[in-house]
Amino acid sequence: MQLQDILYSQGFGTRRVCAGLIQQGFVAVYESPDAASPTVWTESARDIRPQGLRFRVQGVDWAYFEKAYLMLHKPAGTECSQKPSTYPSIYTLLPSPLRLRPQKSAVQGVQAVGRLDQDTTGLLLLSDDGQFIHRMSSPKKHLPKVYEVTVKHPLDAKQVQRLLDGVVLDDDPKPVRAAACEMVGPHSQCLHLRMTLTEGKYHQVKRMVAAVGNRVEGLHRSRIGGLELPTDLAPGQWRWLRAEDLDQLQNKAV
């Protein structure tokens, strides 16, 4: 595979732009897995195997990924939209190549797997793999998602039991149940709740809590499937998903 085509596939611009970066000496390649430093390449049509490739573009190191799978610690005050209405887009937190990775459809770059409200924080997945996005977001897959909920008024055991039993939302006559629900804290009444859901209805956690006479004051997603949000990933930071992370996503244990 030609080096200019590799850069194009990774979102560094059109093939002409990528060829220009190479010819101007802005691209260096780690020519072996154990190479301590990269070598500048100036031939855009030079062939190289993309698998396992590491390279440097304008001083920044990158690794080749045929498909992009990311996790982001979404901060409050951001929207999961390419065209936000009020708050900054989560996509501004990502480097340009991830936003420009080419796709066959009209959509470009990585896309969020589902959405979190602007005031909700926590684990968000992004990818340019349409099948992965569908698999992770489809309600038929019943993938559990864990939320840490702070409520306005102290919860009691009866309210928690109502959430477990299921509450009726205003636009759905069928009761919506929390797959798992527990109060966080040592008291019988508590302002914090850990809730696990296997569906993804609009504002579901907030509407379920409202249905039992309370109000959500803070909402944070801490886990998807078996994948926990890493404690060392600060709000606004992102990282590539490793093979073990992808395996953990498939773990549906609640």
Structure tokens that stand for 151 in this block: 């409520």
Cα dist. 111→34, 108, 140, 199 in Å?
33, 8, 20, 20
Note the Cα 91 to chain centre separation in Å: 11
Find the catalytic residue in 5, 61, 117, 247: 117
CA pair distance 152, 218, nearest whole angstrom = 9
* CA nearest to 178, candidates 191, 194, 166: 166
34 assigned to active site: no
Find tokens 């990311």 and name the residue. 70
Let me know: does 224 contact 249? Beta carbons within 8 Å: yes
Let me know: does 38 contact 28? Beta carbons within 8 Å: yes
Let me know: does 46 contact 2? Beta carbons within 8 Å: yes
CA pair distance 59, 64, nearest whole angstrom = 16
> Residues with catalytic annotation?
117
